[in-house]
Amino acid sequence: MNKQAATLALATLILAACGSTPQRKVETRSPPAPVEDHAAGAAATSTGGGYLAGDGPGADAPANLDNIPDAVPKSEPLHRYANRPYVALGKTYTPLTVAGNYRERGIASWYGKKFHGQRTSSGEVYDMYGMSAAHPTLPIPSYARVTNTASKKSVIVRVNDRGPFLHERVMDLSYTAAHKLGIIGNGSSEVEVESLAPDASLNTLAKPDAVQSKPLEKAEAPAPAPAASAPPATTASAGGNVYLQLGAFKSPEAAENFMAQMRAKLGDAGKQLSVFVKDGLNRVHLGPYASQEAARSSADNLQGKLGFKPLVNLR
């Protein structure tokens, strides 16, 4: 009996060990918070900005962080498991499955040595000195252009992890990406995140030449149209479903606030703004347009006025 009892106890211990293999839990990873947002037990240093206790810059950071190249968008198969709906901190997230049709502004932070060498949601090892990022819903893997709205610096990162889930952050950046954007010292900063399709042109990373913006109703007509006129009538082939997407937000309130800002910039053309809800996002649309070509032409004209190039979107 003693031998059987010992065998049973050993088997129980083996099963318990197998069932407790360390796994990265989304509830335990939170973004580095600004100094003023520190919870009890968090730490800050004078050189590293604000971050959680145990996290921060590594001791052996490469000397050439500025020379580390950005990620280059390429076609990759979606991860088998990382794009399924999931729950983190009691909230359900539904990842997107198509890249290149997402733009959002919000606060981004970074994560460092505490997670360096650990597995990301894609199963890859997190390298804080690579050009990667974590996002709650962008496809894994996919690519995004991240722009510091204050300095206008931009980088391209590869999204291979999930997060952040606290403080309404929109993205967690690798240490190098945050360094190149100039937000290491602050711990966080407002950014614009733009999802990139695999075949996206990277030419827009260069500062665009000055463009004389035109009201939407003038973009397609050789002669000026009345100020209050609608955009060109849609054709049967377009079906009236071609729009420019200026932003995409998780909350209706954020979308409405952003739309108010765009109306102030667009003047009369701002009357053609609307919010369209799709895939759980509140999308700020401008239009409709007669064709995709017309929408692209208008996007080029509006880039100088808005400070970014709207995306062509089909409803």
* Contact (Cβ atoms closer than 8 angstroms) between residue 95 and residue 84: yes
Regarding pTM above 0.75, the answer is: no
pLDDT at 299: 85
Is residue 1 assigned to a domain? no
Please, which pLDDT band fits residue 312 given cuts at 50, 70 and 90? Answer: confident
Whether residues 271 and 219 share a domain: the answer is yes
Is residue 19 assigned to a domain? no
Is residue 93 assigned to a domain? yes
pLDDT at 270: 81
pLDDT at 200: 55
Whether the pLDDT of residue 18 is over 70: the answer is no
pLDDT at 2: 54
The CATH number for 298's domain is 3.30.70.1070
Whether residues 112 and 259 share a domain: the answer is no
Is residue 5 assigned to a domain? no
Whether residues 149 and 54 share a domain: the answer is yes
Whether the pLDDT of residue 23 is over 80: the answer is no
Whether residues 185 and 296 share a domain: the answer is no
Whether residues 81 and 137 share a domain: the answer is yes
Choose the final residue of a domain: 196, 225, 242.
Answer: 196
Whether residues 137 and 262 share a domain: the answer is no
Is residue 147 assigned to a domain? yes
Is residue 21 assigned to a domain? no
CA–CA distance, 75 with 94 (Å, rounded to integer): 21
Whether the pLDDT of residue 213 is over 80: the answer is no
Whether residues 168 and 294 share a domain: the answer is no
Domain tally, the chain:
2
Domain limits for position 224: 211-314
User: Who's near 144: CB < 8 A, 6+ residues apart?
Assistant: 133, 135, 138, 156, 157, 159, 171, 193, 194, 195, 196
CA–CA distance, 48 with 184 (Å, rounded to integer): 6
Whether the pLDDT of residue 144 is over 90: the answer is yes
CA–CA distance, 25 with 123 (Å, rounded to integer): 13
Whether residues 217 and 165 share a domain: the answer is no
Please, which pLDDT band fits residue 195 given cuts at 50, 70 and 90? Answer: very high
Residue type at 120 in one-letter notation: T
Choose the final residue of a domain: 196, 224, 248.
Answer: 196
Please, which pLDDT band fits residue 180 given cuts at 50, 70 and 90? Answer: very high
CA–CA distances in Å: residue 10 to residues 3, 15, 78, 162: 11, 9, 41, 37
Whether residues 167 and 248 share a domain: the answer is no
CA–CA distance, 43 with 158 (Å, rounded to integer): 28
More confident residue, 23 or 171: 171
